[in-house]
Structure 1
């Protein structure tokens, strides 16, 4: 559902506004997610919301790659997509260590911080590919 939703917004408004909205929502969800464990319903809704944003990332990444790198966007995105796999493995290892040392709350605070950083970068991003 996330891919369809964020993709539709991108078709209507371009990529920047929907990306900023998605990252803001993702930040909010990472901040409140640790508090959703009080009931199965809120935990399920929070989990779905986070995966909703993951779908948006997968839709928007190739579009932003094209905007940033012009005719080389597809080639650059192939490396970016491959990096998702490597980052998943490394992220899993780091997350496991963080959980043991700092707990789940710290993991989600770190993810929220990375989302805020992504929002800041996207806010100043101005594509200008030289073809």
Structure 2
């Protein structure tokens, strides 16, 4: 609960600020704002491994549990200090534009049902009473849970990949970290690319395209158990789609409920 609360406190702030500065490209900017969150484990997977298991013990080593468990408390303290410095440093760079600010020459798009832009500003108390909010919230759950399923199980699934002893050996030693780190890069990249897609074709069409792509990838994921490269590519592709959730849903929140109260409104959507 404490871990989740910490993410919730810091996650929405840069999205709320950045979107107000760049209303003409909010999907792309939302993607950039949250890309670091998705891609951060590319670096921190190695940091965590170095802190928790510096001698690179195998999971079946008799001393693995006792050795790693002794390192965990210090690991959390060090990570907490690093995160605190990064978050406080980043907080000093955040600010909201002046009231009524907009990019030079930019004309706000007209509200329309097709684009999903309401042209209205809703308070949080109003937003949670709208059917559009609950539809968006439920859609977020259904879309994100599929990616989370792969994130939580790809390591176990990788051990079933029938690609010879070499792949199993590599997966069993260090390359879980490598696979997770490469997938994290695609997670971050997906946030930027899908956000840009929302700017080009509207968030509704971008979401539809992402949902269809993600569904196809999940449906055929089980076929990766006979080729290690295929497994890696498919895992990265699913992470790529998963990352798109975190740029498309704040963009949808802005278009549906306005940018003025994006922070509290997306905070409610993000509870999904």
TM (norm. structure 2) is 0.29
Rounded to whole Å, the distance in 2 between the matches of 1:10 and 1:68 is 14
Q: CA deviation at 1:6?
A: 0.7
**Alignment counterpart, residue 199 of structure 2, candidates 3, 11, 15:** 11
Q: CA deviation at 1:23?
A: 0.4
1:27 matched residue in structure 2: 215
Alignment of 1:87-102 (within 5 A): none
Q: Which runs of structure 1 show a deviation greater than 6 angstroms over 4 or more consecutive aligned residues?
A: none
Give CA-to-partner distance per residue, 1:88-109, whole Å, 9 cap, x none: xxxxxxxxxxxxxxxxxxxxxx
Mark the runs of 5 or more structure 2 residues left unpaired by the alignment: 1-188
Q: CA deviation at 1:73?
A: 4.1
Rounded to whole Å, the distance in 2 between the matches of 1:55 and 1:16 is 16
Q: CA deviation at 1:78?
A: 0.9
How many residue pairs get aligned? The number is 83
Q: Give the structure with the higher percent helix.
A: 1
Alignment of 1:43-122 (within 5 A): 43-70=231-258, 71-81=260-270, 83-84=271-272
SS of 2:241's equivalent in the other structure is helix
In our comparison, the structure showing a higher alpha carbon Rg is 2
Q: CA deviation at 1:58?
A: 0.5
Q: CA deviation at 1:75?
A: 1.4
Rounded to whole Å, the distance in 2 between the matches of 1:11 and 1:69 is 17
The answer on whether the counterparts of 1:67 and 1:73 sit within 8 Å (CA) in structure 2 is no
2:229 matched residue in structure 1: 41
TM (norm. structure 1) is 0.57
